Amino acid sequence: MPARDLWSRIQKQLHGRAEPEQLRILRGHLDSLHDEWKGPYKDLRDRLRRQVRRLEGHDAVRSRAGQHDPFHVKRQGEATVVLVGTPNTGKSTLLQALTGAATIVADYPFSTSRPVPGMLSGDGGALQLIDTPAVVPGLADGQGPGRPLLHLLSLADVLAVVVNATDDATGNAQVVFDELATTGMEAISGPLATALQPRGKGGVRFVGLPLDREQEQTARSLVAAAHVEHAEIAVRTGFDAEQLRRQLDGDILLPVVLVVTSAQQLGADIGIAATQRRWPHLPLVATESGQPASLEPIRSSLLAAMGRMPVLLLERAALDGAGSIVLMPLASDVAAVAARVGQQERLKGARIWGTSVARPGQAVSLHHVVASGDQIFLQS
């Protein structure tokens, strides 16, 4: 059987099963794949191994759950951002400065031994930030904070990869990216072009930006090849066939913001420039802990990376400023905005002032896709 078909068949076997059972199935297949097989079979083996490692990470987390599991952090707020980096890069300092959460800041490595959450407030709601123990090479093999840390990273909406401008910024960022790769995670410049949401029924549905006929056909054949029967595919920024294929393959694509600390220290310019040169497609924010103003761009960079936009929900059908800001995924429609604020009952449409409409105050239907900064009055 071709490797591709075998992959699809295995994924189908895993579908809907509990994780211990999935692990058993995956290990069974791995045993029967000869190590010397090359080419697509080697890729298949690598992918299955990454899947096993990821599931083992879940296991490692759960096995401690009976007691108090220090790596379990309850999700709160609009989205979850995980601060990650090698020792002493300024992660804990950032968490404290941005959220006020009490975490240990120290000039010795490994001062943070467990994840510490804090909330970063702002227009449209608070973001959850999580400070983490330092990354060391070999996490997947149990080094340092090990697989529980990898598991925590895999749950992030965005990773803030923190490096120190004056201490081998590129080398230390690379350590983080290499560790992600061991379990099938990849740092990408956000936001995700499409969000894939498996569903129990209803076939394959597309929402968000419209696809042309050819794109939709490509998307449907990718979904079919992965044996996914029911899913909602939200097209957020456009169609990226390679990205969708990887999502269907079970890879975890993590939007990243590079945060380069100690930006005002001697020699920092060199570290900042080198980092931006090495990853020109990733957003970068340079910060200096003693200068609060340098932290201000972080929130908007994080929102951009996760693909959230602010819209203003008007209290009346008039631009009198009365309303509240809501953060919505890019390319959300009016129905999604209404659902978000619990107003979907008996909703007829909306009136909008902003860039998504031709005329100010234009009446639109529930399927109208809204734009960043739109002012929206929901009509019931």
Ligand X SMILES: Nc1nc2c(ncn2[C@@H]2O[C@H](COP(=O)(O)OP(=O)(O)O)[C@@H](O)[C@H]2O)c(=O)[nH]1
Binding site for Mg ion (CB under 5 A): 91-92, 112
- The residue number whose beta carbon is nearest to ligand X equals 90
**Binding region for ligand X (CB under 6 A) out of 100-108, 169-177, 307-315, 346-354:** 100-108
What is the C-alpha to C-alpha distance for residues 209 and 207, in angstroms, rounded to an integer? 7
Between the alpha carbon of residue 54 and those of residues 24, 64, 141, 367, the distances in Å are 14, 16, 12, 37
SS3 content of the chain, % helix, strand, coil (to 5): 35, 20, 40
Considering the complex, what minimum distance in angstroms separates the CB of residue 164 from ligand X? 7
What is the C-alpha to C-alpha distance for residues 364 and 5, in angstroms, rounded to an integer? 45
Select from ligand X, Mg ion, none the partner in contact with residue 261, using the beta carbon and a kind-dependent cut-off of 5 to 8 Å.
ligand X
Side-chain-side CA neighbours of residue 77 (13 Å): 22
Considering the complex, what minimum distance in angstroms separates the CB of residue 136 from Mg ion? 13
Considering the complex, what minimum distance in angstroms separates the CB of residue 90 from ligand X? 3
> What is the distance of C-alpha 337 from the center of its chain?
21
Instruction: Judge contact between 248 and 228, C-beta under 8 A.
Output: yes
Structure tokens, 216: 């939709």
Residue 265 interacts with ligand X (CB under 6 A)? Answer: yes
Of 22 and 128, nearer to ligand X (C-beta) is 128
Of 94 and 188, nearer to ligand X (C-beta) is 94
Structure tokens, 258: 């590079």
From residue 276 to residue 315, what is the string marking binding to ligand X with x (rule CB under 6 A)?
-----------xxx--------------------------
**Binding region for ligand X (CB under 6 A) out of 107-115, 186-194, 210-218, 251-259:** 107-115
Of 48 and 97, nearer to ligand X (C-beta) is 97
Of 91 and 151, nearer to Mg ion (C-beta) is 91
Between the alpha carbon of residue 161 and those of residues 168, 221, 373, the distances in Å are 14, 35, 28
From residue 111 to residue 150, what is the string marking binding to ligand X with x (rule CB under 6 A)?
xx---------------------x----------------
Residue 261 interacts with ligand X (CB under 6 A)? Answer: yes
| Strand (E) or helix (H) holding 222 | helix 213-225
Considering the complex, what minimum distance in angstroms separates the CB of residue 134 from ligand X? 6
The string of DSSP codes covering 244-256 is: HHHHHTT-EEEEE
| Strand (E) or helix (H) holding 188 | strand 185-188
Considering the complex, what minimum distance in angstroms separates the CB of residue 157 from ligand X? 21
Considering the complex, what minimum distance in angstroms separates the CB of residue 131 from ligand X? 7
Which sign, positive or negative, has the C-alpha torsion 227, 158, 306, 265? negative
Residue among 29, 53, 54, 91 that touches ligand X (CB under 6 A): 91
Considering the complex, what minimum distance in angstroms separates the CB of residue 284 from Mg ion? 21
Tokens 């959300």, residue?
A: 332
